[in-house]
């Protein structure tokens, strides 16, 4: 082989090695940046869930308003929530994976609420069937009850639970 041909062959190998090197460096940089991006997305979703938890009970779809006397904070109208849970319009409205409401005290039968068993149940799945990690906050849950044909307000202690919906997994 001529000396010049050997040199060209050497250069070709060098070029292939260089290209491979840069591809590897590029992949490494991309991997790091995507990992950072995922972490940012997860922390943003968690931040959203935590901020929503503290305030969602006061949003018009959940809040007691003046249905049970004076306006109170962190009070959820369960009758309204039963209606909301049956509506499909609100899917994606709050931008979270799932929202559930559970009575804590006094303890009720462990059962998901439907119109047939309400109010003798303790979990209302407002929307989403996500079984991921839920964050929760204590709230008061109020509803109208009738005893001896007399209507009165009944409030119990409960929890509102929100999951971020998939970004964490």
Partner 1 sequence: MKKGLQISFSWLFAIIVGGVILFLAFFASSKIITQGQYTVDTTTAKQLGILTNPLEMGFESAEKNTISLPSNTRMFNSCENQGTFGKQQISFSQKSFGKWSEPGSKVSFENKYFFSNSNISSKMLILFSKPFEFPFKVTDLVIIIPLEESYCFVDSPSEVKGDVSNLGLENVEFENCSKGSQRVCFSKGSGCEQIVDYKTNSILKGQERIYFSGDGLMYAGIFSEKEIYECQVQRLMKRVEALSKIYQDKESLLVGKCNSNLGSSLELLKSQAEGLKSSQDLLSIEKTANSIRDLNGGAICRLW
Q: What does the binding site for partner 1 look like in residue numbers (CB under 8 A)?
A: 4, 7, 11, 15, 18, 22, 26, 29, 33, 37, 40, 44, 47-48, 51-52, 54-56, 58-61, 63, 65-67, 71, 73, 77, 79-80, 82-84, 86-87, 89-90, 92-95, 115, 144-146, 151
57 φψ region: left (φ > 0), alpha (ψ -120 to 50), beta (else): alpha
CB-based contacts of 138, cutoff 8 Å, min separation 6: 74, 104, 157, 158, 159
Cβ closest to partner 1, residue 77 vs residue 130: 77
Determine how β-strand 134-147 pairs with β-strand 123-127. Answer: unpaired
Least Cβ distance, residue 132 to partner 1 (angstroms): 19
Least Cβ distance, residue 123 to partner 1 (angstroms): 18
Cβ closest to partner 1, residue 37 vs residue 157: 37
Cβ closest to partner 1, residue 12 vs residue 131: 12
Determine how β-strand 150-163 pairs with β-strand 134-147. Answer: antiparallel
Phi, psi of 104 (to 5 degrees): -110, -50
Least Cβ distance, residue 74 to partner 1 (angstroms): 9
The tally of CA atoms less than 13 A away on the side-chain side of residue 106 is: 4
Least Cβ distance, residue 168 to partner 1 (angstroms): 16
Cβ closest to partner 1, residue 56 vs residue 107: 56
- Nearest alpha-carbon partner for 50 in 135, 166, 129: 135
The distance from CA 164 to its chain's CA centroid, rounded to whole angstroms, is: 3
Least Cβ distance, residue 83 to partner 1 (angstroms): 4
Phi, psi of 6 (to 5 degrees): -60, -40
Cβ closest to partner 1, residue 131 vs residue 165: 165
């Amino acid at each position: 082989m001529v000396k010049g041909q050997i040199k060209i062959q050497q250069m070709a190998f060098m070029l292939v090695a260089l290209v491979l090197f840069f591809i590897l460096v590029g992949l490494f940089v991309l991997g790091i940046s995507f990992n950072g991006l995922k972490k940012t997305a997860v922390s943003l979703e968690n931040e959203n869930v935590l901020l929503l938890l503290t305030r969602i009970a006061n949003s018009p779809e959940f809040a007691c308003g003046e249905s049970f006397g004076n306006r109170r904070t962190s009070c959820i109208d369960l009758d309204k929530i039963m209606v909301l849970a049956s509506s499909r319009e609100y899917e994606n409205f709050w931008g979270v994976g799932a929202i559930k409401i559970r009575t804590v005290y006094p303890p009720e039968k462990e059962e998901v609420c439907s119109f047939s068993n309400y109010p003798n149940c303790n979990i209302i799945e407002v929307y989403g069937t996500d079984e991921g990690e839920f964050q929760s906050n204590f709230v008061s849950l109020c509803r109208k009850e009738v005893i001896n044909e007399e209507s009165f307000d009944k409030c119990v202690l409960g929890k509102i639970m929100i999951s971020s919906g998939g970004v964490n997994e």
